[in-house]
Amino acid sequence: MYALGVDVGSVSTNMVLVDTNGTVVEKSYIRTMGRPMEAVRNGLTLLGEKYDDRQIQAVGTTGSGRMIASIQVGADIVKNEITAHAIAAINMDADVKTILEIGGQDSKIILIRDSVVTDFAMNTVCAAGTGSFLDRQAERLGIPIEEFGDYALKATVPVRIAGRCAVFAESDMIHKQQLGYNTCDIIGGLCDALVRNYLSNVAKGKELLPKVIFQGGVAANKGIHKAFENTLDLPVTIPAHYDVMGAIGAAILAREKLSREKMKTNFKGFAVSKAEFISRSFICNGCSNQCEVVSVLENQKAVGFFGDRCGKYTETINPFPAVHQ
């Protein structure tokens, strides 16, 4: 019996199956490509080839596309990324006190004391250091993103790069190239700059205590990992499943909820991957709020809504009343 976790982000859609011992037995990484519902369908198709509906005892969703995904798959719980990432890290190591998380489009920091989230922050004004920014720089330099970190580790004298802004960082890199600096030193300097940017913006004013865990897709970048350790002067641990921690947290939370409430899962089954899903939005004129409500249609039939502040649609029509926090 497994719990299914779905993390729908702007860059990737991640799915995991977690067994009753909390061990990840299956995980998938799918590029969202601006089509979250299609990405979820593709993920369910892959899992449906190896597992059947009766093996899924709980389903949780998280990420920026968690609302649509919850309606699409029939989720038992819907949680924000902060909660999901924190639960996954705590279950991996109860001693964790600081979580550094950098994904495709955003970055966040989560502070934990005595296994409770006490503070957090997310990037709000700049995407420097996120996965999409690093992908773009690797492509511009003609280097596979998988090797980007290796180049940084070969730097002998990392070049000082302006890392306060993604635009400034890129233009400064180009300037340094024109001055003749070698690629390894430029990439090493870029990693240092992006870590400085993260610590001065996202982590500004926060006390970072060990044990420190680094998760999210960018944790695969050895250069960023080394820069964090050098700057913080602390060991930084990267978990085995660093890239799908949000999905793991969603799966754990879903199982805990159904076990506590002794409920059966709302999971629609893997056959839902064959259904056609589309979303539409409309303005509700029921009051002065004029909420933009999103309706999700399965095979041309409305199966769920979200976006209304009063619950006029979600509480009365949505057949999957998951916990929305």
Residue 274 neighbours by CB under 8 Å, 6+ apart:
none
Asked if 178 and 293 sit in the same domain, the reply is no
Tens-digit pLDDT profile for residues 14-55: 999 999 988 999 999 999 988 999 999 999 999 999 999 999
Asked if 219 and 312 sit in the same domain, the reply is no
Of 39, 9, 22, 72, the residue nearest 298 (C-alpha): 72
Classify residue 87: in a domain, yes or no: yes
Backbone phi, then psi, for 115, in 5-degree steps?
65, 25
Asked if 109 and 189 sit in the same domain, the reply is yes
Single residue among 190, 217, 238 that ends a domain in this structure? 238
Q: Which residue has the higher pLDDT, 324 or 157?
A: 157
Q: How many domains does the chain have?
A: 3
Is the pLDDT score of 149 beyond 70? yes
Tens-digit pLDDT profile for residues 64-80: 999 999 999 999 999 99
* Average pLDDT score over residue span 184-191: 91
Residue 101 neighbours by CB under 8 Å, 6+ apart:
81, 85, 107, 108, 109, 110, 214, 215, 216, 245
Tens-digit pLDDT profile for residues 262-276: 889 999 999 999 989
Classify residue 324: in a domain, yes or no: no
Asked if 228 and 133 sit in the same domain, the reply is yes
Asked if 140 and 98 sit in the same domain, the reply is yes
pTM over 0.75: yes
At residue 262, the pLDDT reads 86
Asked if 117 and 83 sit in the same domain, the reply is no
* Average pLDDT score over residue span 243-252: 96
- The CATH number of whichever domain residue 171 belongs to comes to 3.30.420.40
Classify residue 208: in a domain, yes or no: yes
**DSSP string covering 128-150:** TTSHHHHHHHHHHHT--GGGHHH
Q: Which residue has the higher pLDDT, 19 or 304?
A: 19
At residue 318, the pLDDT reads 52
| Domain carrying residue 82 | 1-93+241-274
Is the pLDDT score of 320 beyond 60? no
Asked if 245 and 213 sit in the same domain, the reply is no
| Whole-number average pLDDT of the chain | 90
Asked if 72 and 99 sit in the same domain, the reply is no
* Average pLDDT score over residue span 249-278: 93
Asked if 150 and 84 sit in the same domain, the reply is no
Tens-digit pLDDT profile for residues 88-103: 999 999 999 999 999 8
